[in-house]
Amino acid sequence: MNDVKLIINSLEENIEKVIVGKKDSIRLIIIALLCQGHVLIEDIPGVGKTTLVSALAKSLDLTFRRIQFTPDVLPSDITGFSMYNFKTGELEYHPGMVMGQVILADEINRTSPKTQSSLLEVMEEGQVTVDGKTYPLPQPFIVLATQNPVEYIGTFPLPEAQLDRFFLKVTIGYPSKREEMHILSRFQYGSPLNSLQSVASKDQILKLQKLTREVKVADSIRDYITSLVGMTRDHPDLTLGASPRGSLFLMKASQAHALLDGRNYVIPDDVQRMVIPVLAHRLILKPEIRLKEMTPERILRSIINSVHVPIGDFHYG
């Protein structure tokens, strides 16, 4: 556990050299990385979405690819394509932009649904299929997509199937006045991103992912998770609740949260902390409920307060 804390602390501190005052957002992204999940970063322009992803990529000794999504980006640009080689008489695969380990899908909602769907296999199975042949992606692998929630002209909202592939959603928000002053001071003579060095290797990340999977989950915790998710499916204010994938991702996120807290077993507090980041973007409100300014986050908080919290010994999974 000491090695785990050392790696995680080094990673967080390195990213915080660039991103000021957003420790919770940084930790959520690290949790997704440990769970082999993907992240949707949704916030207004200028709060540091792209900078946060770039800082993570530079902190990891992994290959980084940035894809700037626009309406003219094609699926083959993402996944790659095959071209006939006249010398060998065979089709040769030319890798697409997704062939990396840390992928920044910048402004993902600015590309067409057809191009968005090219990421479905990538995010679910860690591979691409071109002309009937499958190519695995290098591991560890994570997609971090950004989008602006307040701009609708020239955008294509992500469909539910695409949203459900994201392990969790992160928002950054405005900094406080003190934090903004630190930002001005830190960036006055240049960006600290330019001098950022990697602090975690591929082997270290793979080891942390393995340790995350080994964190114990007691039967009572699994029952708690399924009860919470089940409540979203029967909620009168929701058209669509969370799928079984939501339950699975909530369990995995709770395992990672426990590991970062220095435990090898999950407790109810781990689950409660991860409910909103993991489930909120999977819920669809009824139209009349939106008019009342109700949000998925508020509904999830009411569900957390209404579901019985298990007690007992959680050391055995």
> Which pair of structure tokens corresponds to residue 255?
């395992």
Amino acid at residue number 204: Q
Name, in order, each residue with C-beta under 8 angstroms of 255's C-beta and a sequence gap of 6 or more. Answer: 35, 212, 213, 215, 217, 266, 270
| Residue 155 phi, psi (nearest 5) | -120, 160
pLDDT digits (tens, 9 = 90+) for 146-156: 998 876 677 88
Taking the chain (317 residues) in consecutive chunks of 10 residues, what is each chunk's mean pLDDT? 86 93 94 97 89 92 92 93 84 91 93 91 92 92 90 80 92 92 90 92 95 96 97 93 96 97 96 97 89 89 96 79
Model pTM score: 0.93
- Give the sign of the dihedral formed by CA 40, CA 210, CA 30, CA 76: negative
Domains in the chain (CATH in brackets) are: 2-187 (3.40.50.300), 214-306 (1.10.8.80)
CA distances 167 to 21, 47, 48, 154, 210, Å, are 23, 22, 20, 26, 17
Confidence at residue 164, expressed as pLDDT on a 0 to 100 scale: 92
